[in-house]
Amino acid sequence: MFLTSVAHAMGQMPAGGADGGQGGLMSFLPLILMFVIFYFLLIRPQQKKQKEMREMLKNLKRGDRILTGGGIYGRIDSITDDKVNVEIAPGVVITVMRSYVAGLADMVQAQAQNKKGKKADEAPKAVEKKAEEPKSDAPEEKK
């Protein structure tokens, strides 16, 4: 008696046993699709950025102007395998880890100028709108 109630609770098996295997694969399709999207939107660009950073650190040479991770600008005085001596002022040399170099100063400044350039383009438009509006508070002079 107990076994018959359990059998009814389980319901009927799907028609065609071979189709049940495809249903399992189809349930994983959204998960696979999400992984592919994450790969192209997140993982691949990050790997490309890391590769560019490794190349930049490998190609550092004496005389390059750099920016450290702490925000200090300087010129490379000498380089060893994992350390960089940076001249931050005449006669003032500090030693930093090569991996602590954030980037070349020229490249960082160019990126900052691009960001400021976009904001600067937006600012004159706002000033022009204010200039076009007539002031109603000021009385007009008659000649």
Q: Is 33 in the same domain as 90?
A: no
Query: Which residue range is the domain that position 68 belongs to?
Result: 61-127
Question: Please, how many CA atoms are within 13 Å of residue 95, restricted to the half-sphere of its CB?
Answer: 5
Q: Is 90 in the same domain as 38?
A: no
Report if residue 15 sits inside a domain: no
Q: Which residues of the chain fall below pLDDT 70?
A: 1-22, 118-143
Q: Is 121 in the same domain as 82?
A: yes
The whole-number pLDDT of residue 130 equals: 45
Q: Is 65 in the same domain as 55?
A: no
The whole-number pLDDT of residue 116 equals: 78
Q: Is 52 in the same domain as 89?
A: no
From the list 83, 136, 76, the residue with the least C-alpha distance to 104 is: 76
Interval 40-56: pLDDT, tens: 999 999 999 999 999 99
The whole-number pLDDT of residue 12 equals: 60
CB 96 within 8 A of CB 57: no
